[in-house]
Amino acid sequence: MRSDTGFAENENRMLSFLKFLRKNYGDRTGAVHKRKSDAYQVLVSTVLSQRTKDENTDRASEALFRLAGTPESMVKLPTKSIERAIRPSGFYRQKAKNIKLLSKILIEKYGGKVPSSRDQLLELPGVGWKTSAVVLSYSFGSDIVPVDTHVNRVSKRLGFADEKDDVEEVREKLEALIPTSMRYKTHLEIIHFGREVCRPINPLCPTCGMLKLCPFGQKRIQLIGERARKLVR
């Protein structure tokens, strides 16, 4: 059962977080705020982004789209060429297989178009909750909050979701707290914040503008202080 006090606390914390993001990252997401229109390339890039770093995804996507940028041209490419192009993204054999097969399905079932229904997206090989959410948000204007690795980590550290929550549970909790019209931009701002400040390893808690409201950051600062005190004893 949801605790109303806990939810109100989270609402207030989210309000402060949204203001903080807008102030610090609002102008950074202006250029990319315009949603990407090529659903196929968004879909393929998101498949490539699975279990790898952003820079590897970018390198693999650029190399692949230089060879083929539509389902029709992708199915004509030899699988070996796809593998070579996307190698930087890791798990390249499985990803190449999925990309080729999903391209074939798009042609055969959807006339070469990416479907805009979540259930249909989830039936494509290599497409899970996160990938379908990214495609719906970026390409079809859905007000869903895509939960990638940065959004997942930051949300849990700030106490908007529980550590044990899966990405769908994190998404539901964020959507209960973020107004519909702000979801797409906020998700981009969280990605910037997660890459630069609330990093997976060594987050910059001591100088973070959210420290006062962050349960994880508070604990970490306390731990750092205790370790430092032990060292000088």
Residue 18 binding ligand SF4, by CB under 6 A: no
Interacting stretch for ligand SF4, rule CB under 6 A, among 28-36, 73-81, 118-126, 203-211? Answer: 203-211
- Nearest alpha-carbon partner for 142 in 106, 99, 171: 171
By the rule CB under 6 A, 211 interacts with ligand SF4: yes
198 binds ligand SF4 per the rule CB under 6 A: yes
Residue type, 135: V
When binding is defined by CB under 6 A, the residue of 86, 96, 158, 161 that contacts ligand SF4 is 158
Residue 173 as a binder of ligand SF4 (CB under 6 A): the answer is no
Establish if 204 lies at the interface with ligand SF4 (CB under 6 A). Answer: yes
Residue 106 in contact with ligand SF4, rule: CB under 6 A = no
Dihedral sign of CA atoms 56, 61, 67, 73 in order = positive
DSSP string covering 50-65, please? Answer: TTS-HHHHHHHHHHHH
What interhelical angle do 39-48 and 54-67 show, nearest 10? Answer: 130
- CA of residue 163 relative to chain centroid, distance: 17
Q: Does 208 bind ligand SF4 (CB under 6 A)?
A: yes
Query: Which of 71, 115, 126, 217 is close enough to bind ligand SF4 by CB under 6 A?
Result: 217
Q: Give the CA angle between residues 225, 228, 233 to the nearest 5°.
A: 125
Please give the residue ranges that form the binding site for ligand SF4 (CB under 6 A).
Answer: 157-158, 197-198, 203-205, 208, 210-211, 214, 216-217
